[in-house]
Structure 1
Amino acid sequence: TMRIIGHPLGENFGNTFRVWDGILSVRYDAYGDDFDNRFGAIYFNEKLANYRLKVEYRFVGETAPGAPEWGFRDSGVQFHSQSPASLNPDQPFPVSLEYNLHGGNGTDERPVGAVCANGMFVEFNGQKNSAYCTPPSAQKTFHGDQWVTLEIDVKENLITHYVNGEEILSYANPTFNPEHEIAKTLMVNGEAQVRDGYISLQSNGHPIDFRKIALLKY
């Protein structure tokens, strides 16, 4: 299911998401000269709890005109997400966890694989995160348009990020933030623990390709 801000659920505005030769591409050639915060994502249709997800990705080309500065070589895999149908029309991102994808700019360190917790908390060594995004403990930057392999392993309450087969971050016990305007509406009977959710691939304003998407359920 595709969801792009300002468009009905399921509408693939401007052919943003397109498949060719086994590759799922995200492109902005139909967006004109202003990206206009039209963030989007393509969602897997099934709610998932315990699994290992493996995806190869590469950043290509130039950031869409009018995209935010942080959108340069930025994307992500969102998981433990609310359903696409439950997002407010003007809500840019779902309540979810995100494996953040950063591509290098040729010089600076831009490590891949931070966890960004939108409307949620996670725990590192028993301590809740204080920042929206927490950087990976092993920092790897990938420049250019090389293919990179990300993996997310979700086992009960333990979540681990990998890049090119190497573990880079681990954390536990995702919970909804009861102070968050949208997250609090997703809690059932006051239960904050997050045990499952939807997976999606982001469209944040920079062209990206995905391939060899593999899901192993536990």
Structure 2
Amino acid sequence: MNKSTLAAVILALLLKAFPLQAQEWKPLFNGKDISDWFVKIHHHATGVNFGNTFRVEDGMIKVRYDQYGDFSDQFGHLYYKQPFSSYHLKLEYRFTGEWCKTAPSYTILNSGVMFHSQDPRTMPVEQDWPISIEMQFLAGLGDGQPRPTGNMCSPGTHIVYQGKLDTRHCINSTSKTYGKDEWVRAELIVLRDSLITHIINGDTVLQYSKPQIGGPVVNRYDPQQKQDGKVLSSGFIALQSEGQPIDFRNIVIREIK
């Protein structure tokens, strides 16, 4: 029995002996406004919702770019007001509308939810991505090729996958491919710096552990915030905007003790 298998067995026995205690489900989005959230968009100060990128309509958080000119790498994130450590997050999303043609091509039908993120108030105006882990959302491009969703991406971070430190920026999940304009149910179970589980439409599609600071992708950050090797056991949750219109609804969380 190797070390990773032994650790998994021990964890399973501990969880059986000392069950996790989950609190009641709590809505993060009230369906009316984003007063409990705040924005950080690349090239803009924290709190500036440039172009009304994040807006509430029809009981949903909508990400739109109709007030943009050139996209100019104005990647954005909408952060819930407080950090979390151990929790079960649920939300629904759908890609819609027309992709912003001046955004990078990799952002077509691409978005996500960031977690264990640094506080956006520690980000310089010109920092492009938060140091965080991302549950990446993708939709099929209509070309018949598989394009899984619920993947892991790691701006300024690494994770342990299949028992080894994995420095790839993104790792694909085992999910099915879902289309544009299709509502998808995404769940994220985070146990501090231990096991992290991605669930899509009820199916577990990816698991990994030990999120930690390290690696590239994040640019123009405050060096004090990027302490490579530091394990991440808590942080902020944020919805992403990177050039593709997307809707979010039914965003709920329950914390786990």
Contact kept in structure 1, 2:214 and 2:226, CA below 8 Å: no
Which of 235, 241, 254 aligns to 1:203? It is 241
> What does residue range 1-218 of structure 1 map to in structure 2 within 5 Å?
1-32=38-69, 34-107=70-143, 108-136=145-173, 138-156=174-192, 157-177=194-214, 182=221, 185-186=224-225, 192-218=230-256
Contact in 2 for aligned 1:177/1:183 (Cα 8 Å): no
Query: Aligned in 2, Cα 1:178/1:21: closer, same or farther, shift over 3 Å?
Result: closer
- Cα contact 1:120–1:183 (8 A) shared by 2: no
What is the CA-CA distance between 1:42 and the residue it aligns to?
A: 0.3
Q: List structure 1 runs of 4+ shifted beyond 3 angstroms.
A: 178-184
* Higher relative helix content: 2
Amino acid in structure 2 at the alignment position of 1:62: E
Contact 1:150 1:164 in 2 (8 A): yes
Secondary structure at the counterpart of residue 118 of structure 1: coil
- Structure 2 distance, partners of 1:178, 1:201, is 22
Instruction: Please tell me whether the aligned partners of residues 152 and 162 of structure 1 are also in contact (alpha carbons under 8 angstroms).
Output: yes
**Identity value in percent:** 39
Asked if structure 2 preserves the Cα contact closer than 8 Å seen for 1:60 and 1:207, the reply is yes
**Contact 1:178 1:184 (8 Å CA) reproduced:** no
8 Å CA contact 1:176, 1:184 repeated in 2: no
1:70 alignment partner, SS class: helix
Rounded Cα–Cα distance in structure 2 between residues aligned with 1:187 and 1:119:
8
**1:123 CA drift (Å):** 0.6
Q: Return the alpha-carbon distance in structure 2 between the equivalents of residues 88 and 73 of structure 1.
A: 27
Cα deviation 1:134-177 (Å, max 9, x = unaligned): 111x2321012010011110013110000001100000111122
Residue-by-residue CA offset, 1:19-70 (whole Å, 9 max, x unaligned): 01210000000002x1111110100110110001101000001111201000
Return the offset for 1:184. 6.2
Q: What runs of 5+ residues in structure 2 fail to find an aligned partner?
A: 1-37
Counterpart of 2:68 in 1: which secondary structure?
coil
Q: Look up the equivalent residue of 1:199 and give its one-letter code.
A: I
Deviation at 1:187, TM superposition (A): 6.4
The structural deviation recorded for 1:185 is 2.5
Say what the alpha-carbon RMSD is for the aligned residues.
1.9
How far did 1:191 drift?
6.9
Aligned residue type for 1:19: V
From the CA coordinates, give the structure whose radius of gyration is larger: 2
Structure 1 residue 125: Cα displacement:
2.4
Secondary structure of 1:193's counterpart equals coil
SS at match of 1:85: helix
In 2, distance between residues paired with 1:194 and 1:183?
A: 17
Distance in 1 (CA, whole Å) between partners of 2:237 and 2:123 is: 14
> How many residues in Structure 1 have an aligned counterpart in Structure 2?
215
Unpaired stretches in structure 1, ≥5 consecutive residues: none
